[in-house]
Structure 1
Amino acid sequence: MTVEEELRTLAPQVLGILIRRYGQFDACEDAVQEALLAAALQWPSEGVPANPRGWLITVAVRRLTDQFRSDDARRRREQTLATLEPPPAQDAPAHDDTLTLLFLCCHPALSPASQLALTLRAVGGLTTAEIASAFFVPEATMAQRISRAKAKIKSAGARFAPPPPDEREQRLEVVLQVLYLMFNEGYTASSGADLHRGDLTAEAIRLTREVHRLLPDDGEVAGLLALMLLTDARRPARARPDGAIVPLADQDRTLWLRPMIDEGTELITRTLPKAPPGPYQLQAAIAAVHDEAATAGETDWPQIVALYQLLARVAPNPMATLSHAVALAMAKGPSAGLRLLATLDADDRMASHHRLAAVRAHLLEMSGSPAEAREWYSLAAKRATSLPEQRYLQQKADAIQVP
């Protein structure tokens, strides 16, 4: 493990310890960031200390003490610190606060965008500049969003503690949604010149591994990790050297990352029989069927259709319906896929989405309706905000020969 990787793993643990002991999210995070910077400068040349987490805690507490001393309420806070002596490095708590910190960052009082930004900052260890770059907003804007998120958590009276038992399942669902959103934004960037943001997908997988380590018996956590691994395994074949998108059916499957496929397949195979499957487990099972096919022609489309039918009952979702329509077209013909696709026309969430237009174009092309397919490909290209997707869809439109 590199120094950078070790620091990213330790950062949420150290931040959790400080917040648990002293409160004050802002002050604790600033202190931890300074400790991480000190470690990044010293450890490569001086070596990683025997107790790296204890080292970071000690340095962060010193920084925190300095911050409190310079505050207007110095006397009161110093009295508080005097009664809460910093934990010695060798006696740092053995438990891991990463999951509690994730629950805090995904507090229901925050918007999804704020949950994601705060998770990347506090748990993922990304700088504000890196997060701003990932979402194509100015650094100052992202800094304000993160600052407002911390303030909102404070005003909501959130405590640094695991959620009550009656809230735990719902709060964990939010955590998984945030990690899933992080992965999807990295795997297919919603805007900008790059198709893929490797830093975001890698961070999403790392954090999901952490949650799985802490909750090894939770089927949906395992399902989400398997889904990420099985999907990200195809990354090397998704684009040509010039950045052009390569659709799944045309990808060179020898480029797929076999160790990730093996790990994801083993994980979902072990998890599915244990309990009624949730949406992440079902999506992982679908991804596994795709990844197990040596060629596109060997894909077991009837099995994928059956899994999508189950997913539609467990967790109806318009984006899943798009993929279900494609699978149905492959298994039973394009007319069947188009009929299912028509059920989305009245869905306000999908009315102007480029992917609805793109899937309709694809199915119309399959059905032998080139003129209509070309119109829908052109419309999809206009609606897309990702430059690689725009180029791909326009190329599809231009390639269609209309009699």
Structure 2
Amino acid sequence: MTENPSNNGSVVGLLEHLIRADRGRMLATMMAQFGNLGLCEEALQDAKAQALQTWQQQVPAKPATWLLQVARRKAIDVLRREQHFQGISAQLSYMAETDVTDADLTSVTGLDRLPDQRLKLIFICCHPALEEKSRVALTLKLIAGLSTEEIARAFLDKPATLGQRLSRAKRKVRQSGIRYGLPGPEDWPARLASVLQVIYLIFNEGYACSSGEQQLRMDLCEEAIFLGELMGQLCPNETEVVGLNCLMALTHARRHSRQSDDGVYIPLAEQDRSLWDRQVIADSSYRLEQVLALKKPGPFQLQAAIAALHGEATDFESTDWQQICVLYRLLLSCQANDVIRLNLALATSWVEGPQAGLDALASLTYSLAGYQPFHAARADLLNRLHQSDVTRSPSLRGEAIKAYNQALALTQVESERAFLTARRDDL
């Protein structure tokens, strides 16, 4: 056992951290044993409630293992009370008497083709019986441990609306009798795109957090990269799987330059490129070239190509913005959405000037009104236009300040808040 916590707040904080970091592993491990998503979720929640009481006296030396052990016993208690208990009583008794080990949180014995149970849980969440948006939201909730509010921000939704969607998805999983396990080859096409999108969104939330003190959450980034590598082992010839893994590797290679020592976000133009992992960038770029040569381009390969162009530039000024614009237009042709249009507008501004970027943003004013990066991008473009205007027009300055304030109102990441505040105050 560890030392007593100093107060209730420390226990709550520890539990929240554990649930956020290890929820996916715990649920996947329990699903492998019980196969009932609702039962596993409720048991884990009951274990958390018990921990809130028990840990006030003393926190266990291995808190995550303790939580999984208690959750498993609570699930067994529920099954024992049900009418069909008799047929599985011997197995339940054995499980109840067997202690959980550290290995249970990283791998489970008896797997056929998957080296980790979390991918099997992702495939349940990405079943074609669920709507595409529900598949992604449910996986982010169960695997990545994101809150309803965080997922709602990722989808530009209201938390209440997203919460209802999650409830319907869980109910459908239960009522449809969706089985836990790896789908057959005939079911791959219907689920692969959603699985890859989920892994990417997990990475994206870690790389650009939607709330909290830090810009980065390394645990989510590494979780997504790990899951991507598992997908690569499972289907090594899928070009989009390779594209996703290259995209995450190329982006993660720049992680050490994105935030200052005092916790302030650093934009791409000002990052210290000596901190980038050049070996990872070179290896991933080479791997990407090989898969692009197969001429089966997809959204993740195109995004990886954009990331490679950024990674290969020795400084911001030497970035091949014209080629990046071409790639964004190709990306729009196969995956049209307003966030891609926003990125294309920013890339265009480095080719044709900030006014061209602002003109391109004008059509997105309504659709991205609640999206913080839109207002941050508009503020930056107005600031650049103001700085290039020899008259230093007061109206441009005022518009830029207003846009920074709009971005600040939508920002829940402290590192971004510090950056945006400094830019606004400089004006």
TM-score, normalised with respect to structure 1:
0.73
Aligned to 2:139: 115
In structure 1, which of residues 374, 379, 386 is the aligned counterpart of residue 403 of structure 2? 379
What RMSD in Å do the two structures reach over aligned CA positions?
4.2
Q: Secondary structure at the match of 1:331?
A: helix
1:215 CA displacement: 1.6
The amino acid across from 1:77 in the alignment is F
Report the CA distance shift for 1:147/1:134 in structure 2 as closer, same or farther (over 3 A): closer
What whole-Å deviation, never above 9, does each CA across 1:239-290 have from its counterpart, x for those lacking one?
1111112111111101112343234323322221224211111111000000
Report the CA distance shift for 1:349/1:170 in structure 2 as closer, same or farther (over 3 A): farther
In structure 2, which of residues 108, 112, 121 is the aligned counterpart of residue 94 of structure 1? 112
**How many Å separate the matches in 2 of 1:219 and 1:236?**
28
1:336 aligns with 2:320: no
The amino acid across from 1:393 in the alignment is L
Contact 1:16/1:98 (8 A) holds in 2: no
**How many Å separate the matches in 1 of 2:364 and 2:287?**
33
Aligned to 1:239: 259
Contact 2:202/2:221 (8 A) holds in 1: yes
What whole-Å deviation, never above 9, does each CA across 1:198-218 have from its counterpart, x for those lacking one?
221121211122122212111
Aligned to 1:391: 418
Q: Secondary structure at the match of 2:180?
A: coil
1:13 CA displacement: 7.2
**How many Å separate the matches in 2 of 1:215 and 1:299?**
33
Report the CA distance shift for 1:377/1:184 in structure 2 as closer, same or farther (over 3 A): farther
1:18 aligns with 2:33: yes
1:335 CA displacement: 3.2
Q: Secondary structure at the match of 1:242?
A: coil
**How many Å separate the matches in 1 of 2:184 and 2:397?**
52
Aligned to 1:125: none
In structure 1, which of residues 354, 361, 364 is the aligned counterpart of residue 372 of structure 2? 354
Aligned to 1:70: 80
Report the CA distance shift for 1:246/1:41 in structure 2 as closer, same or farther (over 3 A): closer
Aligned to 2:288: 268
1:168 aligns with 2:188: yes
Q: Secondary structure at the match of 1:241?
A: coil
Aligned to 2:316: 296
What whole-Å deviation, never above 9, does each CA across 1:157-204 have from its counterpart, x for those lacking one?
322354576753342222222222221211111123222222211212
**How many Å separate the matches in 1 of 2:29 and 2:401?**
50
What whole-Å deviation, never above 9, does each CA across 1:89-121 have from its counterpart, x for those lacking one?
x98343326543211133425464333111236
In structure 2, which of residues 81, 87, 96 is the aligned counterpart of residue 79 of structure 1? 87
**How many Å separate the matches in 2 of 1:362 and 1:65?**
53
**How many Å separate the matches in 2 of 1:243 and 1:145?**
35
- Structure 2: which 5+ residue stretches go unaligned? 1-17, 48-60, 96-107, 153-159
- Structure 1: which 5+ residue stretches go unaligned? 35-39, 45-55, 122-130
The amino acid across from 1:392 in the alignment is F
The amino acid across from 2:144 in the alignment is L
1:131-142 → structure 2 map (5 Å cutoff): 131=146, 135=150
Identity of aligned residues (%): 36
Contact 2:309/2:324 (8 A) holds in 1: yes
TM-score, normalised with respect to structure 2:
0.69
Contact 1:361/1:373 (8 A) holds in 2: no
1:159 aligns with 2:154: no
Contact 1:105/1:119 (8 A) holds in 2: no
Report the CA distance shift for 1:9/1:196 in structure 2 as closer, same or farther (over 3 A): closer
1:394 CA displacement: 2.6
1:77 CA displacement: 2.7
1:320 aligns with 2:346: no
Contact 2:346/2:357 (8 A) holds in 1: yes
1:14 CA displacement: 4.9
Contact 2:118/2:143 (8 A) holds in 1: no
**How many Å separate the matches in 2 of 1:341 and 1:65?**
52
What whole-Å deviation, never above 9, does each CA across 1:51-101 have from its counterpart, x for those lacking one?
xxxxx9xx99x969954663242xx333156699999xx983433265432
Report the CA distance shift for 1:268/1:9 in structure 2 as closer, same or farther (over 3 A): farther
What whole-Å deviation, never above 9, does each CA across 1:223-249 have from its counterpart, x for those lacking one?
112111111211111111111121111
Contact 1:230/1:287 (8 A) holds in 2: yes
**How many Å separate the matches in 2 of 1:255 and 1:282?**
25
Report the CA distance shift for 1:188/1:92 in structure 2 as closer, same or farther (over 3 A): closer
Contact 1:237/1:253 (8 A) holds in 2: yes
**How many Å separate the matches in 1 of 2:401 and 2:299?**
30
1:150 CA displacement: 4.4
**How many Å separate the matches in 2 of 1:226 and 1:77?**
48
1:149 CA displacement: 5.8
**How many Å separate the matches in 2 of 1:314 and 1:145?**
27
Q: Which has the higher contact order (CA 8 A, sep 6+)?
A: 2
Contact 1:381/1:391 (8 A) holds in 2: no
* Number of residue pairs the alignment of both structures matches: 359
Q: Secondary structure at the match of 2:81?
A: coil
The amino acid across from 1:340 in the alignment is A
